[in-house]
């Protein structure tokens, strides 16, 4: 009976140690995956931020070109002299 108890206790201790080892191994694996995913997320966010910044820059450049074209066409059509007229302010209306 004592031998059986000793064997069962030894087996139980070995199984618990194996279980603990497997848990640690899985936690390490999960930690590595999490770190990898976090790195990919940061890289993707940086890429999206760069893309957004470039789009905004291009939109501002386009707006500037369109304003220059509008001003140029306005002057060609004779609207350039409108700036010299004194139009009533919104407050005076």
* 25-84 pLDDT, tens digit each: 999 999 999 999 999 999 999 999 999 999 999 999 999 999 999 999 999 988 865 555
Radius of gyration of the chain (CA): 37
User: Do 63 and 69 contact (CB within 8 A), yes or no?
Assistant: no
Give, in order, the Cα–Cα distances in Å from 84 to each of 63, 77, 80. 25, 16, 8
Q: b or e along 66-76 (b: 16 or more beta carbons within 10 Å of the residue's beta carbon)?
A: eeeeeeeeeee
Model's pTM, two decimal places? 0.56
User: Do 74 and 80 contact (CB within 8 A), yes or no?
Assistant: yes
Taken in order 64, 65, 68, 70, is the CA torsion positive or negative? Answer: negative
């Amino acid at each position: 009976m004592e031998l059986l108890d000793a064997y069962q206790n030894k087996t139980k201790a070995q199984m618990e140690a194996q279980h603990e080892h497997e848990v640690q191994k899985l936690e390490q694996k999960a930690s590595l995956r999490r770190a990898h995913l976090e790195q990919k997320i940061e890289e993707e966010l940086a890429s999206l931020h760069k893309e957004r910044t470039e789009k905004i820059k291009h939109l501002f450049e386009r707006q500037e070109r369109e304003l220059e074209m509008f001003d140029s066409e306005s002057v060609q059509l004779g609207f350039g002299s409108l700036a010299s007229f004194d139009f009533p302010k919104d407050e005076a209306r």
